[in-house]
Structure 1
Amino acid sequence: MRSGLSQAQCVERFGWNRNTFKSNLNGNTAFGFEAAKAYAAAFKVRAEWLYDGTEPMRAEAKVSVREPIVIPIISWVAAGDLREMPDLAFQHPIDTLTVSDLPQGEWCATTIRGDSMDRLSPEGSTIIFDVSDKMLMRGRPYLFSRRGEATFKLWEPEPIPHLAPYSTNPIHKPIFLNTDEEWNVIGRVRRSIYDFT
């Protein structure tokens, strides 16, 4: 989620506990609905969305029919660089895609490599993700940057935080994260498109 503030600035501005906020943000520690309401008020989103994802991120997202929008399609390599060079990736797409009925967000698309998530998105699928939505929720699909490379996985915070595959191929195993490893959330994947040939 983009608030325009760093973690340190959020802690200072809103008076939150630094360690608690960090653990809530990266999904290591669950938070209750009262905490969700406090975070929601600060970030101007819905508490229900933060707590369990059952409501739209913002109230205006309840509108069921939305005008089509054109979003950039970027390469898989560029997707891995989105955290460091977001403007460059958006300014130089390899193509565009017109889609409708998406909630408010900062949308981008890329084509899947590999079959580690083929139960949701077969290799060659186009996934649409929101780079403004970085609040991790258990069992939801996200695009991550790990060691500068993009990876599409489910987020699972317990028993040890890890990126989980969702595949028919048993070769794929969970990726367990440690504090020394560089990884970041690029955005939450909200749609997958696959054309049969």
Structure 2
Amino acid sequence: MEEPHDRLAIARRNAGFENATDAARAFGWNENTYRSHENGERGLRLAIAERYARAFETSAAWLLTGEGDAEAAPEPKNIVRLVGRIGAGAVIDADFEQEPPEGFAEIEIPYPVPDGAVAFEIVGDSMWPRYDPGDIVICWKVAQTRTEADGWEAAVRLTDGRRYLKTIRRVSKDRFDLVSHNAAPILNVQIEWACKVFGNIRAGEWNLLERAPRRSR
């Protein structure tokens, strides 16, 4: 009989991700945490099941109990997960990026974005004049290779765990400089993950949602 972790693996494959690594990287999840949910080492709480259900376009009820339809209506494409803040020095607040018990916040934006896009909120003036406090940066398209990210403006995670919003400049085979608009560059670092900036939404043009509504069937 299928268990929740079995259904999670099914949902991941149905969503087009060949393995757990691909899924975790696409959505910016901690890979070890996701693997522990999919292999059954850790149980699925409701908030976590809802997160995975939104990502894989299924239902939390089906993941947890097997009841209902494995294929749910997709999320409206102008609903995006808010998964971080960019603060002084253009550093992504890693504490905020750890999902709270109630799940990540979600926002409604004025135009559609690709599936899997995530949002970061600008705080402070370290990214001025390109971005103002309260602006939203939409990131989408995870680099499949480190060299692919050369020239991208992207949310970046370094091998030491630090996270930034920077423009990536390749300086050697596996080393990069990270450049921002109003902060000193970070030189000669190694990149673990990069997600390209898709666009930005000005402050006042996006709405914070308690929960993203689903389309009716």
TM-score range, shorter chain: 0.3 to 0.5
| Larger-Rg structure | 2
TM (norm. structure 1) is: 0.48
TM (norm. structure 2) is: 0.44
